[in-house]
Amino acid sequence: MRRFYLQHERAILGAVGIIAFLILWEGFARGWWAELLQPLLGPQAARLQLRPIFISSPTRIARAAFDMIFVTGAIWKDFGWSGLEFTLGVALALAIGIPLGLAAGWYRRLSYAVEPFLTALNATPQVAFLPLLILWVGTGLACRVLIIVLLAVLPIAIGAVAAVRTVDARLIRVARSFSANDALLFRSIILPSSVPFLLAGARLAVGRGMIGIVVGEIYGSAAGIGAMMNQAGSRFETDKVFVGVLAIAVAGVGLVEGLRRIERRVEAWRPQVAA
Amino acid sequence: MKLERYLIGGGTLLVFLLAWELCADSGAINPLLISSPSRIAEAGAAAMSDPDFWTDVRVSANEFILGYVAAIIVGVPLGLLLGTSRRLSYIFAPFVDTLNAVPRVALLPLLIIWFGIGIWSKVAVVFLGAVIPILIAALSGVNTNEARFVAMAKSFSASRTKIFLSIILPGTVPYIFTGLKYAAGRALLGVVVGELYASTAGVGRMIADAGNMFQTDTLFFGVLIFTASGLVVVAVLDRLERRFERWRPGVGAPT
């Protein structure tokens, strides 16, 4: 028994924490704690019952999720829209960020030229451009794709610059002394050694992309998970808002975990250096 | 070398601004859509003499400062605590991981229901955005502590408090500052999104209103305010970090 606990301590304590939290939450919504502490606190105890309209409750959220997934199926359409925006946005950000970053890492002068722009854009919360984007392209799909690009392109580009800068200079010197040209150098040294940096940038970009989905959709959009949450929130359907939050959490964890897998797979060939 | 960097950087920036101005003035692109540097400067000057603008700045600054400071006050001690107690960290891990996976701005519809559209819903979203990176940074700072130092201190029978104060805490400082810098970006993001979404005042509100009224110049000026605040916050944190790190002997190549 004790050995079992010690072996799985992490999972057991984590589960205990979650279950305690859920019971506490459900109790507030159903008034369990108000009833329980009635003799102790008197009329004050009624304060411990919170209206479900404010905090919802785990069972309500579960029921709403079940409805939205299996009964009405409403969530799939929103998932589809958000997924489309995310895919287009991140793909565009990769297509712009990687070549730009690699080039800026390799050509010193180019990096000097783009540096002021990257610094400024990096310091700005990029979502501040959202009203401008709406002026330019309206509130449709294009606007949400562009805000995701704007958010996601920087970590990708910065990762790519770092990738080129940290290439082992000895490898390049060896290749050069065997008169390798730039194209060969790029293909056989720079690209393979930059993969970890590019993937790290991509992982950051996934997080930024999720922010882009939410922000683009809660601000003037009719479709997608964020729009669903916005509408539910303005109708005080707290349980649906929570379903949206959970859906985003699941998607985010899934994507990051997927990227980690790819990272491990791509990195399998690399000889271990550290202990 | 350094001169070249500034020349090329400044030159490109200048060319960009000139091209922008020319495009707008010649009418090649409708100035209503892209404004122009001179128009933005004019709008900025007009805004600076408008008391409403300063109210907006004050509201946004309050939201940022209250949320960010609260995040530091909660995040640093909690991160250190979770870092030193393995069991506690196991209990809290699911919550921290979940919150970390959700963009906290997704909680805005809920925060509005809880705190209304005044300043406090924005303070809350800034706090939530900033507290998680700070907490995780402090936690990982403790976890990556040099085990040799702790073992050494123990063999000289140092107390737990002593070990914490003289080994663990100083070791986490660089991590905490990395977290603080990252969190500052998240906090600014919270201010902007919160104000765009639902608010009555603030620089984000000003940007949204300007967008609705096609005042592109005011809109750009508002964005520039956020850019400037982002740069200032990071510069201040860099300076603080250098101050705290001055005692540390340099490792690696001399710079």
Give the Å distances, CA to CA, from A88 to A141, A208, B66: 10, 14, 37
- pLDDT for res B204: 95
Q: What is the pLDDT of residues B52-103, one digit of tens each?
A: 999 999 999 999 999 999 999 999 999 999 988 889 999 999 899 889 888 9
Q: What is the pLDDT of residues A82-117, one digit of tens each?
A: 999 999 999 999 999 999 999 999 888 999 999 899
- pLDDT for res B255: 45
Q: By the 8 A CB rule, do A124 and B231 touch? A: no
B226 to chain A, minimum CA–CA distance in Å?
A: 6
Quick check: A249 and B230 CB within 8 A?
Answer: no
- For residue A195, give the nearest of A92, A272, A122, A269 by alpha carbon: A269
- pLDDT for res B85: 87
CA angle A52, A57, A59 (to 5 degrees): 125
Quick check: A125 and B93 CB within 8 A?
Answer: no
Q: What is the pLDDT of residues B206-241, one digit of tens each?
A: 999 999 999 999 999 999 999 999 999 999 999 998
Nearest neighbour of A211 by CB, restricted to B90, B92, B103: B103
Question: Which residues, given as ranges, of chain A have pLDDT below 70?
Answer: 270-275
- DSSP 8-state symbol, B166: I
Closest chain A residue to B106, measured at CA: A214
Domain ranges of chain B: 34-243
Please tell me the distance from the alpha carbon of residue A265 to that of residue A166, in angstroms, as a whole number.
22
Residues of chain A neighbouring B13 (CB-CB closer than 8 A): 116-117
- For residue A109, give the nearest of B217, B4, B145 by alpha carbon: B4
B169-197 vs B203-212: helix crossing angle, rounded to 10: 30
- pLDDT for res A190: 86
Residues of chain B neighbouring A233 (CB-CB closer than 8 A): 108-110, 112-113
Please tell me the distance from the alpha carbon of residue A62 to that of residue A56, in angstroms, as a whole number.
10
Total CB pairs under 8 A between chain A and B: 153
- Reading phi first (left if > 0) and then psi (alpha if -120 to 50, else beta), residue B118 is in beta
B49 to chain A, minimum CA–CA distance in Å?
A: 23
Instruction: For residue B193, give both structure tokens.
Output: 């999104």
Please tell me the distance from the alpha carbon of residue A2 to that of residue A9, in angstroms, as a whole number.
10
Least trusted range by pLDDT, from A48-57, A239-248, B26-35, B242-251? B242-251
CA B192 to chain centre: 11
Closest chain B residue to A211, measured at CA: B103
A39 to chain B, minimum CA–CA distance in Å?
A: 29
Please tell me the distance from the alpha carbon of residue A47 to that of residue A25, in angstroms, as a whole number.
14
- DSSP 8-state symbol, A187: I
For residue B131, give every residue at least 6 positions away whose Cβ sits within 8 Å of its Cβ, in sequence order, or none: B70, B71, B74, B75, B183
- pLDDT for res A172: 86
Domain B34-243 has CATH 1.10.3720.10: yes
Quick check: A130 and B196 CB within 8 A?
Answer: yes
Q: By the 8 A CB rule, do A233 and B113 touch? A: yes
CATH topology of domain A69-269: MetI-like fold (1.10.3720)
- pLDDT for res A66: 93
Instruction: For residue A27, give both structure tokens.
Output: 């109790």
A41 touches chain B (CB under 8 A): no
Quick check: A114 and B12 CB within 8 A?
Answer: yes
Nearest neighbour of B8 by CB, restricted to A16, A113, A253: A113
For residue B250, give every residue at least 6 positions away whose Cβ sits within 8 Å of its Cβ, in sequence order, or none: none
A141-165 vs A108-123: helix crossing angle, rounded to 10: 130
Residues of chain A neighbouring B90 (CB-CB closer than 8 A): 9-10, 13-14, 17
ipTM confidence score: 0.89
User: Is the pLDDT reported for residue B188 higher than 90?
Assistant: yes
CA A38 to chain centre: 44
- DSSP-derived 3-state class of residue B164: helix
CA A143 to chain centre: 19
Nearest neighbour of B12 by CB, restricted to A113, A120, A130: A113
Please tell me the distance from the alpha carbon of residue A88 to that of residue B19, in angstroms, as a whole number.
30
Chain A interface, mutation test: which of B8, B125, B128, most A Cβ atoms within 10 Å?
A: B8
B-contacting residues in A 216-235 (Cβ below 8 Å): 218-219, 226, 229-230, 232-234
Please tell me the distance from the alpha carbon of residue A189 to that of residue A164, in angstroms, as a whole number.
10
- pLDDT for res B112: 93
Sign, CA dihedral B110-B114-B117-B119, equals: negative
Q: Please, which contacts does B241-244 make with residues 24 or more away whose CB atoms are closer than 8 Å?
A: B241/B173, B241/B174, B241/B177, B244/B173, B244/B177
Residues of chain B neighbouring A109 (CB-CB closer than 8 A): 4, 8
CA B74 to chain centre: 16
Q: Compute the average pLDDT of residues B180-204.
A: 94
